[in-house]
Amino acid sequence: MQSLVILISGRGSNMQALLEARRHNDRIVVISSNPQAIGLSIAGQYGVETAALDHRDFPDRQSFDAALAEIIDRYRPKLIALAGFMRILSDSFVQRHHQRLMNIHPSLLPAFPGLGTHARALQEGVKIHGCTVHFVTSQLDHGPVVIQAAVPVFPDDTETTLAARVLQQEHRIFPQAVRWFMEDRIRWIANRIEIIDPPCGGTELISPGLTK
């Protein structure tokens, strides 16, 4: 049985999308940096094992990351999925789990890394916005891209309406990327990701296309 660890800090809507799309032969563990995170109770409703490690109990990022790594290592995960995990990981943590850390980001990277992506997209007047699943590296939001999905930006969009449209696509592509990894269909070529037997793309502006 393969293990998947999902890291959250809040409600974890992307975590819920992963749980709904999970493969039944995988063991899933949800770990939160916030013991009061709503996502922990949601995960419990799916019968998933949970754990919490309050980052406020640690004097610095390095000590928190070291304790988090110890908990994660108990489960020997094949993949660690960051689903709304609101912590910047230390270099030592990233290197310890090299090529096993996957994140979902609400922009078409490398555009708009960091926070406030939807407001910045509107401010810049872009016509297409979206989301990216990528591997985590020491450089924030600049790891190799696995899959992206794009949405149109309408003239009357607000930050809220645009965020909702992007979130729908996050819930589609993150489970797809995780499934590819768990099925050994992701291959690293230098700093680029190749999908083994990718599905045929359509006209929905998702690359690579989703499995039907």
Q: Looking at the annotation, which residues are catalytic?
A: 105
- Specify burial of residue 20 (Cβ count, 10 A radius: 0-12, 13-18, 19+): exposed
Please give the C-alpha separations between residue 42 and each of 25, 45, 147, in angstroms, as whole numbers: 20, 5, 26
Q: Is the peptide bond before 77 cis (omega within 30 degrees of 0)?
A: no
- Specify burial of residue 115 (Cβ count, 10 A radius: 0-12, 13-18, 19+): exposed
* Cα–Cα distance measured from residue 199 to residue 208, given in angstroms and rounded to the nearest whole number: 7
Q: Cα 137–163–126 angle (5° rounding)?
A: 80
Tracing tokens 């922990």 back to the chain, one arrives at: 40
Backbone Cα Rg of the chain = 17
* Cα–Cα distance measured from residue 195 to residue 180, given in angstroms and rounded to the nearest whole number: 8
Give how far the C-alpha of residue 36 lies from the chain's centroid of Cα atoms, to the nearest Å. Answer: 20
